[in-house]
Amino acid sequence: MKLEKVALVGSGNWGSAIAKIIGNNVQLYPEFDNEVKMWVYEEFINGQKLTDIINEKNENVKYLPGIKLSSNIKAVPDLLETVRDATILVFVIPHQFVKGVCNQLKGQILPHAKAISLIKGFDVNETGICPMTEVIAKTLNINVSSLSGANIANEIAEENFSETTIGYRVREEGELYKRLFETPYFRVGIIDDVIGVELCGALKNVVAIAAGIIDGLRLGDNAKAAIIRIGLLEMKKFVQTFYRGIKEETFFESCGIADVITTSYGGRNRRVAEAFVITRKPFEHLEKELLAGQKLQGTLTAQEINHVLRRKGLENEYKLFTTVYRIAYQGLPPERLVKEII
Ligand SMILES: NC(=O)c1ccc[n+]([C@@H]2O[C@H](COP(=O)([O-])OP(=O)(O)OC[C@H]3O[C@@H](n4cnc5c(N)ncnc54)[C@H](O)[C@@H]3O)[C@@H](O)[C@H]2O)c1
Ligand SMILES: O=P(O)(O)OC[C@H](O)CO
């Protein structure tokens, strides 16, 4: 039997948590090769290469400290070496880096490789939005599935119970990925809606910024619930406006309502937005100050959404998305959030 060989493109907070799961699961199923290469965007920690530290300690001390990875996870600083012999590419990098990474991978992967994107974000162009699965699929000419859910990486790394959703086009691939990712504490649902799953994951980051603003303003839980409800409606309308064939059920999977809730209470976007209201420091300063190298996705996504809405004359139909953009980029006082969306 030809074995499936997995490569991880990314090793941040979520990338490392998922490496822990994949490292264990490839050893449980005979269809997978036991060695998993993980691409690390190289950096130095106290003069030592992060890749060397990960390989020596089996721990990503910068992005997921205190969590052991199995020794079959091999940190590799060379992107092309990471993917050269892989049949499954797991993309898990902040969305702003995907185009650059894919351009480097062009012509450098196995022709029969396939991919799954765990990324929460999208790109935009003159005509509208470009989901990450489409950027990857078009650049590399391969089939791409998506995985997204109510998944705060640190909680999953601690093996606390959670669920996730895989969006597939080819059912066998959905089932293969379920075996690769599922554990007793990380339950995987699969649905044939690649774009719906991934766009929910991208858009919820903007709702999380609004939720953090509500927290910073100390407006309480009822206000937060209202933001979650309004945000979910805007997410649904946005996805269904820009894409045909998105399933209604997708919004009730982990990638939909559950992710909006978790992100509005426990995520990095929420935390940084709350700090923004309290300190009034710019988001990019707070990202550096509070996230220790991890990346904030919600403000950038608000900007990308606004680019599309403005071009289409739809800003007024998405009041929450538009107001988050104006607060983050145009100096609108956060106190105006509620007034602008009612
Ligand atoms: N952290 C979570 O809880 C979580 C959960 C679910 C989904 N996600 C999503 O997964 C994706 C990856 O998030 P993460 O938490 O693993 O990353 P992260 O926020 O920890 O990001 C930092 C990563 O980006 C890398 N990086 C920095 N500059 C780079 C460059 N120029 N090119 C390539 N890589 C560079 C860093 O080396 C590091 O690995 C994001 O889309 C995020 O929204 C995150
Ligand atoms: O920490 P955040 O805000 O990037 O959110 C993390 C996950 O996406 C929550 O599901």
Please state the ipTM of this predicted complex: 0.99
CA distance 210 to 215: 9
What is the pLDDT at residue 92? 98
120 marked as binding residue: yes
Domain count, the chain: 2
Residues 256 and 272 reside in one and the same domain? yes
Ligand nearest to the CA of 294: 1
247 marked as binding residue: no
Cα(95) to ligand 1 centroid in Å equals 8
pTM as predicted? 0.98
Residues 47 and 168 reside in one and the same domain? yes
pLDDT along the chain (342 residues), means of 10: 95 98 98 98 98 98 98 98 98 97 98 98 90 98 98 98 98 98 98 98 98 98 98 97 94 98 98 98 98 97 97 97 98 98 94
Residues 31 and 73 reside in one and the same domain? yes
Cβ-in-10-Å burial (0-12, 13-18, 19+) of 179 comes to middle
Mark whether 237 is an active-site residue.
no
Ligand 2, atom nearest to 151 Cα: 10
95 lines ligand 2 (CB under 6 A): no
Phi, psi of 26 (to 5 degrees): -65, -20
Phi, psi of 129 (to 5 degrees): -95, 150
CA distance 254 to 271: 21
Identify the CA nearest to 67 among candidates 56, 57, 55: 57
Residue nearest to atom 44 of ligand 1 (CA): 14
Write out the residue range of the structural domain in which residue 337 sits: 199-341
Residues 86 and 115 reside in one and the same domain? yes
Residue nearest to atom 26 of ligand 1 (CA): 41
Tokens of 287: 């990202």
Ligand 1, atom nearest to 11 Cα: 39
* CATH (domain of 174): 3.40.50.720
Which of 140, 160, 192 terminates a domain? The answer is 192
Catalytic residue among 204, 224, 237, 281: 204
